Structure 1
Amino acid sequence: MATIRQRGNTWQAIVKRKGYPTQSKTFDLKKDAERWSRHQERLLDAGQWSDRSEVEQTTLRDLLVRYEKEVTPKKRGAINEVLRIAVIKRSKLVGYAIGSINGRMIAEYRDKRLEAVSGSTVHRELALLSHLFNVAVRDWGFALNTNPVSQVRKPTPSKARDRVLTDTQRQALISSCAQCQSPWIKPVVVFALETAARRGEILALTWRDVDLERKVAKVSGKTGSRTIPLSPACESMLRSLPRSLEGHVFPVTIETLKQAYARAVARAGIQDFTFHDLRHDALTRLAKLGLNVLELRSISGHATANMLQRYVSIDAGDLAKKLAIR
């Protein structure tokens, strides 16, 4: 039975039903308190009532903290996801209770992020949030009526980039990385240029994963684990590094790497060249060496040839030279 009582300038609605916890909520107007009470009673009568006190007290920040602790470490792309979560935590959205977050609020977050980053980046952030809400309902028992991310249009992923460096630019970038305060930036960039490995795979690499005698390394990323060959330049660079059997090959944080790399690119006078573009550059050069599609996929970790094609730039001039040899 519902009880409505005045408390100063507000009205408190209380709904009691045997076998259910007492529900209460405060309103500025009596009619709103009565309307809420009737709604709760209808839900109870229909057997559709669920305890929403938890979703009204738990913020998105609370959920992200738990997700980062319990779910993210189990993912192959954990390093990048931690960075993604840190970005979301800086938004005003995380201050809201999860039960109050709706599609409009998610759309506002999407549109604001699109002003600063690419559609692909925002798409990945929304995918993370969507999975977060699904986990909250399915695994953690939160009584959410709907996943708010499912109510909004996802941004179109950005077109594949085709940035590659000239030999002069590549050397300028390596020289610029050598000037970074952290001594690990140059080795990381050299490894990326020589192996086409992803940033997360590189930072997760340990010395146990490296076999310098066989000239191979085992990397683990979002598509699983694979063994990649080490070029003479890469092998030489790795042999020059200090090492510990248990430690990471490149003991540098992703945030330090991002900031130092951006400064190194600017110092080298190169425009619009992201760390991920190093992978594109590396695969393009490997293709020019004559490696076939299967060999390139074994190095890159791409599941299909179509996915690999996004990362390899074929120069028409190079093709013309090959035709001239025939």
Structure 2
Amino acid sequence: MATIRQRNDRWQVIIKRKGYPSQSRTFDLRKDAEKWARQQERAIDAGQWVDRTEAEQTTLKELLERYAKEVSKTKRGADAESYRIDQFKRSKLAQYSPAAISSSLIATWRDERLKEVSPGTVLRELQLLGHVFTVAMREWGIALHCNPVTLVRKPAPNKGRDRVLTDAQREALLIACGKCHSPWIKPVVIFALETATRRGEILSLTWSNVSLETSTAFVSGKTGARKVPLSPACMEALRVLPRSLDGRVFPVSVDTLKQAYERAVKRAGIDDFTFHDLRHDALTRLARKGFNILELRAISGHATANMLQRYVSIDAGDLAKKLACA
């Protein structure tokens, strides 16, 4: 039987059963104490009792920090995921315990977040949060009734973007990047425009994986590792770069690059052109130069031609010129 006793102006419940850890909880009202005691004893009698202490006393922020240390660091996209985790840690949601986070709370967060970023960004953040809860339940013993993220409607993913710069815009962007406080921003953008590599692949690149003799670089990212060719413009930018002590070619953080790049885009007078759009622009220019599908896939790292197609803009006017010459 549970022991219920009054301590000052509150009621304390203590439950002791052989084979189970001692439980205690304090309530303002005796009826709430009795109700909780009955619930715990029924669960024990039915063999359905689970210890929810950690789920109730841990915060989501603490789960995110543990996830970053134990799970994120093993992933290829660790830098990008670290940025998303930091975004979550600054949200109101991070202050709640896992047991207190309901699907309605997450839905509210989703709706507010959609006012700030694209649906695709919110979708990726929800996928991360869902995996945090899954790992917490399956591997860390956090007792939850269910993963609340699975109950929340996901935003529709973005339509494929079709943003390609003109020659004048590309030149203006590079000039604007050259005015950034950080001397690494312009070389990063040149590398992205010339190699079609992803942001995470660029920022994790080390000098040991660059061959100036063969004009190639060995990059590693979310789809694995591959060797990419380096254009003359890219080689010229690399040759004048100083060597950092940590061995990275571009020793800047994701956040620094993100903020500096966004300011440079505004200075260049370009609307709605993300860093990832540089990849789209690069692959489109390579396709126009005559690179075939196999060559483009070798450069981009796409697993299928269908995925690659989303990143290459084919102009109907260019096709018409080819038909006229055929």
CA distance 1:210–1:154, change in 2 (3 Å): same
Within 1, Cα distance between the matches of 2:301 and 2:180? 30
Name the structure 2 match of 1:283: 283
Within 1, Cα distance between the matches of 2:208 and 2:139? 35
AA aligned to 1:86 is D
Name the structure 1 match of 2:2: 2
Within 1, Cα distance between the matches of 2:5 and 2:111? 43
Structure 1 residue 212: Cα displacement = 1.2
AA aligned to 2:133 is F
Structure 1 residue 156: Cα displacement = 0.9
AA aligned to 1:191 is F
Name the structure 2 match of 1:188: 188
Name the structure 2 match of 1:136: 136
Q: Would the aligned equivalents of 2:11 and 2:26 in 1 still touch at CA under 8 Å? A: yes
SS in structure 1 of the partner of residue 116 of structure 2: coil
Structure 1 residue 244: Cα displacement = 5.5
Q: Would the aligned equivalents of 1:208 and 1:245 in 2 still touch at CA under 8 Å? A: no
Within 2, Cα distance between the matches of 1:133 and 1:300? 33
Within 1, Cα distance between the matches of 2:5 and 2:100? 25
CA distance 1:269–1:65, change in 2 (3 Å): same
Within 1, Cα distance between the matches of 2:20 and 2:139? 23
SS in structure 2 of the partner of residue 61 of structure 1: helix
Within 1, Cα distance between the matches of 2:254 and 2:150? 30
Structure 1 residue 248: Cα displacement = 0.4
AA aligned to 1:94 is A
Q: What is the TM-score normalised by the length of structure 1? A: 0.97
Give the root-mean-square deviation of aligned CA atoms. 1.3
Within 1, Cα distance between the matches of 2:202 and 2:221? 9
Name the structure 2 match of 1:67: 67
Name the structure 1 match of 2:102: 102
SS in structure 1 of the partner of residue 14 of structure 2: strand
Name the structure 2 match of 1:90: 90
Of stretches 13-22 and 113-122 in structure 1, the one that deviates more from structure 2 is 13-22
Name the structure 1 match of 2:227: 227
Structure 1 residue 69: Cα displacement = 1.1
Within 2, Cα distance between the matches of 1:4 and 1:102? 30
Of stretches 22-31 and 293-302 in structure 1, the one that deviates more from structure 2 is 22-31
AA aligned to 1:257 is L
1:208 partnered with 2:213: no
Equivalences, count:
326
SS in structure 2 of the partner of residue 165 of structure 1: coil
Q: Would the aligned equivalents of 1:61 and 1:89 in 2 still touch at CA under 8 Å? A: yes
Task: Show CA shifts across 1:208-266 (max 9, x none).
Answer: 11111111111111000011111111111111212258610011111111111111111
Instruction: Note the 1:265-276 alignment, pairs <5 A.
Output: 265-276=265-276
AA aligned to 1:92 is K
Name the structure 1 match of 2:159: 159
AA aligned to 1:172 is A
1:294 partnered with 2:294: yes
Q: Would the aligned equivalents of 2:59 and 2:96 in 1 still touch at CA under 8 Å? A: yes
Within 2, Cα distance between the matches of 1:26 and 1:163? 59
Of stretches 10-19 and 207-216 in structure 1, the one that deviates more from structure 2 is 10-19
Identity over aligned pairs, percent: 69
Structure 1 residue 117: Cα displacement = 0.7
Q: What is the TM-score normalised by the length of structure 2? A: 0.97
Of stretches 134-143 and 187-196 in structure 1, the one that deviates more from structure 2 is 134-143
Structure 1 residue 133: Cα displacement = 1.0
Q: Runs in 1 of length 4+ with deviation above 3 angstroms?
A: none
Instruction: Note the 1:3-42 alignment, pairs <5 A.
Output: 3-42=3-42
Task: Show CA shifts across 1:174-197 (max 9, x none).
Answer: 011111111000000000000010
Name the structure 1 match of 2:304: 304
Within 2, Cα distance between the matches of 1:251 and 1:85? 21
Within 1, Cα distance between the matches of 2:255 and 2:117? 17
Gaps of 5+ in 1: none
Q: Would the aligned equivalents of 2:123 and 2:155 in 1 still touch at CA under 8 Å? A: yes
Q: Would the aligned equivalents of 2:244 and 2:251 in 1 still touch at CA under 8 Å? A: no
AA aligned to 2:163 is R
Instruction: Note the 1:250-269 alignment, pairs <5 A.
Output: 250-269=250-269
